[in-house]
Structure 1
Amino acid sequence: MFQGRRRPFAAASLLVTTLSVVAACTNAPPPPLVPPQESPTTTTSAPPTQPMPTEVVVGVDKLEGGFNPHTLADLSPTSSTLASLMLPSVFRPGPDGSPQLDTTLMESAEVVPDAPKFTVRYRIRREASWSDGAPIAAEDFVYLWEQLRSQPGVADPAGYRLIDDVASRSGGKTVEVTFSQPFPGWRSLFNNLLPAHLLRDAPRGWANALDDGYPASGGPFAIRQVDLARGEITLERNERYWGPPAVSDRIVLRALDPTRQVEALRSGDSHLAVFSPDSDTLKALHDLGDQVQLINVPRPATMQVLLRPDSRALSDARVRGAVTAALDRGALVDAGTGGGPGEQLPAHAQVLAPSEPGYKPTEPPGQLAEHPDPAKVEQLLTEAGYQRSGGTWLRDGRPLNLVIAAPFEHQSYVRIAETAAKQLRDQGIQATVVTPTGHQLFGEMLPVAPKATGGASSVDMAIAPRPAGDDPAAMLASQYGCAGTAKDSEQPFPPNDSGFCDPLLQPTIDAALTGRLPFPDASTKIESTLWNQAIAVPLYQQSQVMAVRRGVGGIQVGNGLAGPFSTAAQWVGTPADNDGY
């Protein structure tokens, strides 16, 4: 069994702001000497005291290493939280969830009229800069484009692969992006910009350079300390931030187990908690009564089971159909959510998440039973040439043996994988669970077709997140489109994680991506094929509970799928117990 190893995480202090007290100066002459008196009266005034910093303490599930918000391996509440607080974005969700220009960063972003090719011109505010003083500029756009179009295991590459060129103008503060074809979803690009001047030549490269945090901030907060072993991340106000300063001096993210989460809220040690409670913890939260306000917060990811058609074992659609018929979907959902808030967002579509605008179930009636269907398993495997012998399905004397992969950093993924493996074994299908690191799974194993290797690293099934919240046509193309090649190098782009590519469907996917076909029309055609071919089994949309103590100010849910941390600059904290320095 292939077992990933945990990357060591030392406590890291990435961006440290040193506070200094500067004595006031005056040009007045020194006071005259006073001769001593027989009965002197001495008065001593206490030195002025430095006010304690204000802070907001947030309880979270777990602080996971890996903070790159653009990779599937690092797609977690931790990376989403830090990206909201530190990384600049051209567009952010507006009140209705649609993209709205972030005028703190941008002066404008608009399509250039009458350009020979579809071109978008971005004008960055002159004062926008990273916390180390470097300007936020065109090189950051170039870096993100180069990485997201070419690296394996990224969340939403399709739109970036339409870009022909990213050009710098006006000293890097104007960026002109030229596309090979029109792209109506261009507002979904260039969010969560990264500091190219610090990452381009980072020795650990794209996959690991952000394992311990961000080397610079372009948001209202900066990382002061990362201590994953202790389960705490401290962020402080970014004094170089050119926008409105954060109301509170610092935010402390503190990982607590469910029992301690509830106790910290009860005692006031936590101002709020944003986490994924199980059913027992939810009951304990409700028992706090009016001490806390509870709000469900959907996350931008849908949990799914991928059945990879480029796998030797699963290349036959009948075998994939038999596998889905062997699964107890309700039990898989329970394994992943533990009866928590995600259970309230069951997923029955292949592209949009349940909380997204325009979502509606696309699953054909009776396509996937909620519970195992042994008769259907037997029918489909028999049609595919298998025979059951001694409780095991065999073809040509070889058992049907599937490898199910789940990233070991995410215990909910692993629980789903182990539950699925047991369900398959109960129906005579052998199954083995492997738990590589997220970077190994999404960056190395899934981009290589099992047919091409046939070795121990082959993956037939995977428990993986499906990103949500971006342009739906781009998400469709990223998840299920054929990879294509880079025009400037003729190098093939990495394949999608589902292992699915249908040349007959690709023109429809391309038409939706470039706006020649409305997404709902394309989705109807594509999703029916995905269901019939049994490419993926959607389970549920990830969701958390935000528990806020009464009296804490400025806390909001956030627009769209941005989440509550997108409003953290307005949170009103209380004086800390110590200055933390």
Structure 2
Amino acid sequence: MGGRWRAVLAGAAALGALAGCTNAPPPPLVTTEVARTRTSAEPDVGEAVVGVDSVLGGYNPHKLADQSTVTTALAQAVLPSVFRPGADGTPRLDRTLMVSAEVTSAEPYTVDYRLRPEAAWSDSAPIAAEDFVYLWEQLREAPGALDGAGYRLISNISAREAGRVVEVTFAEPYPGWRSLFSGLLPAHLLKDIPGGWANALRENYPVSGGPFAVRTLDRDRGEIVLERNDRYWEAPAALDRIVLRRADLTGTTGALRTGHSQLALTALSAQGLAAVTALEPDVTTTQVPRPAVATVLLRPVGTAMADQRVRTAIGALLDRRALIAAGTGGGPASAAVADAQVLAPSAPGYRATLPAGRFAAVDQAGADALLTEAGFTRVNGSWALGQTPLNLVIAAPAGREPYLAMARELQRQLSVGGVQSQLLTPPGDRLYAELLAAPDPDEEPTTEVHLVVAPQPAGGDPATLPAVRFGCAPADADSGTPAVANPGAYCDQATQPTLDAALTGSTPLADALAALEPELWSRTVAIPLYQEVDTLVVRREMTGVSAGTPFAGPFAGAPGWRRAGG
């Protein structure tokens, strides 16, 4: 973990210390009857209760719309993966699932995967080649896919030995192949479900291929119960069950204080961090960077936003610090400011690339000059092109309060700068799969979205990430024109060769970033704000709990969690 991120964590700890020294009274102990009194029964040492902010789905780890703390937790505990992040963040073969995975040919570039013969889903169906094929077929084309760029390089998948040996052939060399086939999904149950990929893991997990299985998932009660998967072929988990329970700040701190919860994994404001810190020394707290960067996307769509001068003017009207404050509430994430276009602050090799002075303050004069140059004039205090007002559509995913708060602040800032706007808050599925997807030439255009306040992916193979965030899809065979393949609607033939070179390894990532970062900042298509950060709070009776390997999170180690009695 880099020195910058150590400074981030130190800053978060200092924030907690400062907040804990105020004269404000402690928060109410609890708000629910179950947490108001300490139970007289002996503790169930086979169960651990984890307080979380929300259990709302969907739960597909491969969809941008579904990314959340709970989705990551469930994927780590329930789904099999070929590789998992090691302690230094680099992929390590998961030998609970795999015998081997290796490049067997350079031309064509081929990787052979050999699965353990006993690896099976909890309904006894083998984990096999069809699960690899299913993921490949969905992610290479599905709108709103989290990690499609690497899968689009695969040209064929074949199987041997009853599907236990999987041969994957790539159209080009792909050094990042170890990032593929994490979070395998049960093809035999999902490939024919009504609604297809859009409904995969929308409501629940039908089976498990990991040490835990989902027993119940009750959104109304705000509770998910994981139980030890008795059909897991490896060493069994130490705990019988893990319960994820939704709670607000008061409920979380009260349950931790009384022992009704043993852990919490939650995004905290400054007030929340102070409340949790007040529980010490009965708990320990650790900051857990998430694989997501809160970002404002300035989509080059429509007449106005296709003009770089207009996008740059919009960027000049923004108060970046106020947006970060609105999203983080001054909590630990506020120390993880993202000053690079591609890598997140906690990623190895991260360094700030934000040009000096850019977005340091609102530049109304600069915005006025650029809009005037682009042909706009002030009409009754608002910018217009002729008699048509500059009216932009802002979108943020419903149910994601930090992003809704930032979107409202963004709308306020644009209004102050003389730019009219309207705010849409569609469900995540509709936002990514419809509103931000590449337009279908055979269908009527949907609502045009100009600005998006949403999380952008930050995990996986770092050399693949530029293509995921800013790349084009391969050219259509009929038109020969590359298609937009990212929510930001950015597809530029000037930068695409550099993205492709990083993806296929022909250019080292550091060299590619040196070329890409200044170009992307100058285009004003994305303004990163901060990396999401959860706080892991653990009571003293729990052992084996840690922040986990980079971007995997605490649930990667859940099979080893133990709870002491008394």
TM-score by length of 1: 0.87
Partner of 2:193: 202
1:88–1:218 Cα contact (<8 Å) kept: yes
Is 1:238 the counterpart of 2:226 in the alignment? no
Partner of 1:413: 403
Deviation at 1:214, TM superposition (A): 1.1
* Distance in 2 (alpha carbons) for counterparts of 1:452 and 1:423: 37
- Equivalent residue number for residue 317 of structure 1: 308
**Residue 99 (structure 1) aligned with residue 106 (structure 2):** no
CA contact (8 A) 1:138 1:175 kept: yes
Aligned match for 2:364, one of 360, 374, 395: 374
State how far apart, in whole Å, the 2-side matches of 1:400 and 1:71 are: 32
Paired position in structure 2 for 1:348: 339
Q: Is the 8 A contact 1:150 1:494 kept in 2?
A: no
- Conserved? CA contact 2:472–2:496, under 8 Å: yes
- CA contact under 8 A between 1:296 and 1:546: conserved in structure 2? yes
Does the 8 A contact of 1:68 with 1:210 survive in 2? yes
Q: CA deviation at 1:187?
A: 0.5
Letter of the 2:290 counterpart: R
Question: Which residue among 462, 466, 473 is the counterpart of 2:452?
Answer: 462
**2:79 matches 1:87:** yes
Opposite residue 362 of structure 1, the aligned amino acid is T
Is 1:336 matched up with 2:327? yes
Aligned residue number for residue 556 of structure 1: 546
Deviation at 1:455, TM superposition (A): 6.0
Matched with 1:402 is 392
> 1:85–1:219: 8 Å Cα contact kept in structure 2?
yes
C-alpha deviations, 1:87-129, integer Å up to 9, x for none?
000000111111000011000000004x530000000000000
AA of the residue aligned to 1:339 = G
Give the corresponding residue for 1:33. Answer: none
Structure 1 residue 493 displacement after superposition: 6.2
1:537 to 484, 506, 527: 527
Matches within 5 A, 1:232-271: 232-271=223-262
Aligned residues: 524
State which of 57, 66, 72 in structure 1 corresponds to 2:49: 57
Distance 2:336 2:466 in 1: 20
Code of the residue aligned with 2:377 in structure 1: it is Q
Q: Would you say 1:308 and 2:299 are equivalent positions?
A: yes
Q: 1:159 aligns with which of 147, 150, 153?
A: 150
Maintained 8 Å contact 1:226/1:234 = yes
Contact 1:450–1:460 (CA under 8 A) maintained in structure 2? no
Contact 2:439 2:445 in 1 (8 A): no
Call closer, same or farther: CA 1:526–1:452 in 2, change over 3 Å: farther
Q: Describe the superposition over 1:525-569 as per-residue Cα deviations: whole angstroms up to 9, x where unpaired.
A: 111111001010000000010111112111111111110011011
Decide whether the 8 Å contact of 2:53 with 2:266 is kept in 1.
yes
Q: CA deviation at 1:473?
A: 2.0
Range moving further from structure 2, 492-501 or 215-224: 492-501
Preserved CA contact (<8 Å) 2:378 2:384: yes
The match for 2:263 is 272
Give the secondary-structure state (helix, strand or coil) at the position aligned to 1:172.
coil
Is the counterpart of residue 547 in structure 1 residue 549 in structure 2? no
Displacement of 1:363 in angstroms is 1.1
The amino acid across from 2:369 in the alignment is: Q
Report the Cα offset of residue 368 of structure 1.
2.1
Contact 1:53 1:250 in 2 (8 A): no
Please name the residue that 1:10 is paired with. Answer: none
CA distance in 1, matches of 2:170, 2:446: 40
Q: Structure 1, unaligned stretches of length 5 or more?
A: 1-50, 577-581
Report what 2:420 is aligned to. Answer: 430
Corresponding residue for residue 174 of structure 1: 165
Identify the residue that residue 225 of structure 1 maps to in structure 2: 216
Unaligned segments of structure 2, at least 5 residues: 1-42
User: What are the superposed Cα offsets for residues 445-482 of structure 1, whole Å, 9 maximum, x if unpaired?
Assistant: 11145999996611001112111121122110111111
Q: Is the 8 A contact 1:152 1:494 kept in 2?
A: no
- Residue 245 of structure 1: how far off its partner (Å): 0.3
Q: Equivalents in 2 of 1:71, 1:123: separation in Å? A: 27
- 2:310/2:371 contact within 8 Å kept: yes
* Residue of 456, 459, 469 corresponding to 1:479: 469
Q: Percent identity?
A: 52
SS where residue 500 of structure 1 aligns? coil
RMSD of aligned Cα (Å): 2.1
Name the amino acid aligned to 2:230.
E
1:81 Cα deviation from its structure 2 partner: 0.8
**Cα offset for 1:571?**
0.7
Q: Distance in 1 between matches of 2:526 and 2:120?
A: 42
1:136 lines up with 2:124 in the alignment = no
Instruction: Say whether residues 1:389 and 2:388 are aligned partners.
Output: no
Write the deviation string for residues 213-267 of structure 1: whole angstroms up to 9, x where unpaired: 1111000000110111011000100000011100000000000001111111111
CA offset digits 1:176-229 (Å, max 9, x no partner): 000001001111100000000000001131112311111110000001101110
- Paired residue type of 1:72: L
3-state secondary structure, aligned to 2:362: coil
| Match in the other structure for 2:39 | none
TM-score (norm 2): 0.89
Secondary structure in 1 matching 2:333: helix
Equivalent residue number for residue 66 of structure 1: 58
What letter matches 1:178 in structure 2? T
What is the distance in 1 between the residues matched to 2:327 and 2:114? 43
